[in-house]
Amino acid sequence: MNLRLMPKISRICHKFDQYIKKIFRPGRFQQRKIFTFLLCLTVGVIIAYVGITTRYTVNGMPTNTYKTSWIGNSFGGGKYWVQNHIEGMYVAPNGTVYTNSVWDEAGREAGIYKDGKIIGMADDTHGWSRTGGTAVTVNSKYLYLAINQGSIGNTEKDYPPDKTNWYCVRRYDLSGKPAPFADGRGWDKSMLIVSTKGEVTGLATVKKELYVSDSAANLIRVYSTETMKELRSFSVTRPGAISIDSQGNLWIIQNKKGSNPAKIVYYSHTGKQLPQQITQVVEPTAIAIDPQGRLLIAENSPRQQILIYNVTGKPVQVGTFGTKGGIYAGNPGEVQDLKLYGITGVGTDAAGNIYVNNNGFNRSGTDLRKFSPSGKQLWQLFGLIFVDNADADPQSDGVDLFTKQEHFVMDYSQPPGKQWTFKNYTLNPFKYPQDPRLHTSPDATFVRRIQGKPFLFLTDMYSSFLQIYRFDAANNSKIAIPSGMFVNTNPDGKPSIPGNWPPYEPEKGEWIWRDRNGNGAFDEGEYDKNEDYPYLGGWWVDNKGDVWKTLRTQDGIGIRHYPLQGLDAHGNPIYGYSSMKKQNTPSMFTDLRRIEYFPETDTMYLSGFTVDHPAKGDDTGVVGSEIVRFDNWSQKNLIPRWRIVVPHDITGKREVSTAAMSVAGDYVFAVTFKNAEVHVYNAATGVQVQQFKPGPEVALESGWIDIPYGIRAFRRANGEYLVFVEENWKGKVIIYQLMG
C-alpha cells in the first residue's frame, strides 16, 4: 500500500470509530471494534485502489501499465540480437559458428555463435561505405571475412577512389578485432584487395594457405595466412564456396550462369583439376566436409535438402539430411525441425553435429539450426524480421500474427520475447515464381477477413503498390497465394514497375491485377488499366475489404475508394476502375498522406500537411503535421470532429516527425520517426492520453521508423491493446501490450 495514504485512512477510521460508538450499545465493545476494523480495512483498500489508479492515469488512460515484447528475433536487443540474412557460414571443430551477411542494420554483419548463444561479432563491418559479404572461414588464429569497401570521397585514410569498390578479404583475430598486416589496405591496414570487378564468393584455409574465389576473374587465388601475400592462382570457372578435404584438396561449387548449370568440381591444392565432380545438383549454395570425410552439399532447389556424398573415390550420394521438399513438404509452409527453406549455410563440428542456416527467399531472414548427427534439433536462432511490421488476424483475437512472409502464433501468458512461435512460412518460390514478394520489397501487412476468409494486403516503403494474397485452407497449405495487386502511375510515362517483371505489364499508367485463372501468375488479360495522379500518400483496407488510397497534392479530389465487388470463383477479391469512386480532399489539407476508414461507424481519419501547419521541404515518408477525424463520412461531411497537431518537422532537419499512425478501439496511435516514441490520443476527443517508448525488455532501444505503416494497433476482446512497431535495427517487431 502507498504509505502516503496511511494518514488519510487513519483519520477516516477515527471518525468511523466515533460514529460507531453512538450506534453500539454499552458493553458491546468487542463487536464494535471488530466492525470498525473491517469497515476501515474495506475503506483503506478502496482508497488505496483509487489512489493507485489515479496515480497511473492521465486523461483517462492508464500509464505505466504497458509492457514491451517482440517477435521475430531470439533476443530482445542491447548487446544481443541475431543478424539479418546469414549468407556465409563456417563451423569450427568446437562448434563455434562464424557467419557473414552483406548487411545487418545494427552492424552485426559477421556474428559469432555457440551453444545457441551470441558470443561475439566482427567489429567495424558497417558504415563508411563498408558492408559484409557471402564468404567466411577460420583457422586456429584468424577469422577471414569477405567484405565490400566502397569509396567515401576525399580522405587522408586509405579508401577506394571515387566510383570504385574494393572486394576484399579482411582479417580478424578470433575475438572479432581487425588483425592488420604488412601491406594491408584500408584505414586500419587489415584488408586484402582481391578484386575491383566482383565480390569474393568463397573462402577456405588449410595449413598456412588461404584460398579465395575470385569469381569475376574465374580464379582461385592462394595467399599466405600470415603475410597475406599472394602465392599463386589457378583457373576455375565461376568459383563459389570452397571446402577442403583431409588430403588438402579443394571441392568447389561452380556456380550456374545462364544456360550453364552448376556443379561441384575437385582440384588439388596446387591447382590441378582432378577427375571427380558432382553434376547431379541444381542450386548448390554451400558445402562442407564432415568428420567422416563425406561432402555435404546444401541443395537449394525444390528438394531443399542437404545432400551427403562419399567422395573417397568416385563421388556417390549416400544420404540426405532434412525432409525432401523442405518446408513445402506435408502441409506446405508449416515450420518443422527438419523442414529446410532457402539454405545458405551448412557445416559440422568435430562431434558430427550438423549446422544449417535458412535464409528463406528474397532474403527473408535468419533461421540458424544445430542438429545432432541423428537429426535431433538441439537449438535454433532467429533473426526473421527486416523492415517489416505485423498485423493480427481479427478472427484470432490477436493470437495469429502475420508479417510479409511469416505467421506467428502467440501465447500472451508467457514472458516477453517468449510469447511467439514461428508457425508458418508463407512464401513458395517454386510453386509461385511470380509472387510479388520475390520481385519487390513489401514491408508492412494488413490482415483482413473477407466473407470469413483471411487475406494479406502488403505495401512498401514508398506506398507504390498494394499486394493481395489469399490462402488455400482446403489443402492444408499455409502458403499465401498471389491474388491481386494495385500499382500507381509512373510520373515519367513509363511502366510502373521497371524491368522484366511482371509479364504483360501495361506500358504506362496504373493498373490492378487479379489472378483471374487462379494460377498465382501474372497472365495476359488479367490487368485493369488507368492513369491518375502519380504521387500517393497512403493505402488502407477497411473491415469490409474496400480499398482506399490518398493522392498527395493535385486538384482537390485526392481520395480514391475501390469498393469490394465480391470474390471471384478462385477466391480473389474483385476491384476495378469502373467502380472506383473519387472523393474530395478536405480543404485544410495541402498534402494528404494517410487514410483509415471504419465503415461500421462511418468514421474517417485522415492525416497530412495542412494550411495551418505546412511541410518544411518534401518529407515524403511521414504522416504529416495533423491527424483529423470526420464523422458521418459517407454523408460527405468534411467538417472535422477534431484536429490533432502531431510532432512534425519545422526545421527541415527531420529531427522530429511522425512516421506512422494506426486507429484501434478508443485510441489513435502514432509513432515518431527517430526516437520511436508512441503517442496515444483519445479517439473521441483527440486529446493525448499517453506517451511511451521501448521498455527494459528490449534494452530501452529502437531503430528509426522507416516505413509508412511502422505502427499497427489491435484491440483484443478483453480490452487489451496490442501495438506493433517496426524495429528493423535489431531484426524484430516490437509489441506493446497495454491494459484496456
Q: Is residue 63 scored above 80 in pLDDT?
A: no
What pLDDT, in 10s, does the model give residues 527-562? Answer: 999 999 999 999 999 999 999 999 998 899 999 999
Predicted local distance difference test score (pLDDT) of residue 554: 81
Q: Which three cell numbers stand for residue 335?
A: 515450420
Q: Do domains 73-383 and 394-471+536-738 have the same CATH topology?
A: yes
The Cβ of residue 630 has, within 10 Å, a number of other Cβ atoms equal to 20
Confidence (pLDDT) at 27: 43
CB atoms near residue 24 (< 10 Å): 14
Q: What is the pLDDT of residue 654?
A: 82
| Percentage, residues of the chain above pLDDT 70 | 91
Q: pTM for the complete prediction?
A: 0.91
pLDDT for 739: 85
pLDDT on residue 55: 28
Residue 92's Cα: distance from chain center in Å? 29
- Supply 578's cell numbers: 469502373
Q: How large is the C-alpha radius of gyration of the chain?
A: 30
Mean pLDDT to the nearest integer, 409-428: 98
Residue 620: its pLDDT value, please?
Answer: 85
What is the identity of the amino acid at 655? Answer: E
Local structure of 310: helix, strand or coil: strand
- What is the pLDDT averaged over residues 59-69? 68
Q: Is the model's pLDDT at 428 over the cut of 60?
A: yes
pLDDT digits (tens, 9 = 90+) for 681-716: 999 999 999 999 999 999 999 999 999 999 999 999
Query: Is residue 51 within 8 Å of residue 32, measured between CB atoms?
Result: no
The answer to whether residues 200 and 192 touch, using CB atoms and an 8 Å cutoff, is no
C-alpha grid cell, residue 615? 511541410
Q: Can you name the CATH fold of 394-471+536-738?
A: Neuraminidase (2.120.10)
Residue range 4-34, pLDDT digits in tens: 333 344 444 444 444 444 444 444 444 444 4
From residue 447, alpha-carbon distances to 395, 421, 470, 515, 600 in Å are: 10, 18, 10, 19, 17
Residue 64 pLDDT class (50, 70, 90 cuts): low
Band the pLDDT of 473: cuts 50, 70, 90: confident
Tens digits of residue pLDDT in 149-188: 999 988 889 999 999 999 999 999 999 999 999 999 999 9
Which CATH fold topology does 73-383 show? Answer: Neuraminidase (2.120.10)
- Tell me what pLDDT residue 160 has: 96
Domain locations along the chain: 3-55, 73-383, 394-471+536-738
